[in-house]
Amino acid sequence: MPSRTPDDSELERWWCDPTTEYAFVGFSYEVTACQSAEQLLNEFRDIRYHFNSRYIRLYGACDREGFYDDIVNAAWENGLGVHALVWFGFNGDDVWIGRRDTLLANLHSNPRAKFVTRLAKANLSSLSIPVTVSELAYGYQERGGAQDVLDAIDSINIHMLPFFSQNASTANQSWPLVLNDLQWFVDHGNGKKMYFDENGWPSVTSPSVQPNSPYAVADVTNEQAYFTLLDEHCHDLKKVVGGGVGWFAHIYSDNQEPGYGIYDSSGNLKFPFHPRTFC
């Protein structure tokens, strides 16, 4: 990043063309632990320079005062963009309203925030920040397609979790499942940019991670095989309408979501991970 904070007039030309954002773009990063500023700096550095990431995609919520300032600083210092969000949770309450207001206030008050916040799951059009929601194809389909939502968002952020398909078996056989959901979004997305953001294959099951197919296999070999599969289909993803599909690895560490991490709970890489960032 530059040594000085850019002028607002530079924002229009700040970001790369979305057509360059395909293949691996970064990690989902769970923030419920309210990581310290030091931990954010260290792990964002690892994400940027070890894995050649462009972006962090925030997941979960931390309501500590000043936390998004720490996110912005860690991203700025390490040359990362942030896919931010307002976390609605699963309780149906209205706590998300305060989170939305806090994020909006930060984006107005922190002069660097708008220069690291690439995309947000909130209404931020007044700041020239694209907005989106993140959901499974099934989540749209069970609501009649929710075409009004697809029409309203600026990009389409897709939960791509083929392990949960009723037809799942092993990860290296899952491309038809990926393609089926992707094609649904192509058919209904009006040519918009697409990302796989909650995207991966678990290495273990848990009470909340259970397959819908008796043949689905959860282990480290299949977690690795899923990302290898995406790498092998880099050219296919690049050709998708809207400038190609960029994908995130969900998630950075098993400490953030058991079974999905690239790192295990002891901080060890579970397998070699050097995905393609272009093809």
pLDDT in tens, 87-105: 766 666 677 777 888 888 8
Q: Which residue has the higher pLDDT, 93 or 155?
A: 155
Give the 3-state secondary structure of residue 250: coil
pLDDT at 199 over 90: yes
pLDDT at 1 over 90: no
Structure-block tokens of residue 58: 């925030």
| pLDDT of amino acid 225 | 98
Paired strand residues for 59: 30
pLDDT at 123 over 60: no
Q: Which residues of 80-119 are buried (b: 16+ CB within 10 A; e: fewer)?
A: bbbbbbbbbeeeeeeebeebbebbbebbeebeebbbbbbb
pLDDT at 277 over 90: yes
Upper half-sphere CA count for residue 218 (Cβ side, 13 Å): 22
Q: CB–CB of 171/218 below 8 Å?
A: no
3-state helix, strand, coil in the chain (%, to 5): 40, 15, 45
pLDDT at 203 over 90: yes
d(CA 166, CA 136): 14
| pLDDT of amino acid 233 | 98
| pLDDT of amino acid 124 | 60
User: What pLDDT band is residue 212 in, cutting at 50, 70 and 90?
Assistant: very high
| pLDDT of amino acid 125 | 58
Question: What is the residue-wise DSSP string for 108-142?
Answer: HHSTTHHHHEEEEES--GGGT--B--EE-HHHHHT
Phi, psi of 12 (to 5 degrees): -60, -30
pLDDT at 261 over 90: yes
Instruction: Give the ranges where 156-198 is alpha helix by DSSP (H).
Output: 175-188
Q: CB–CB of 121/132 below 8 Å?
A: yes
Mean pLDDT of 53-62: 94
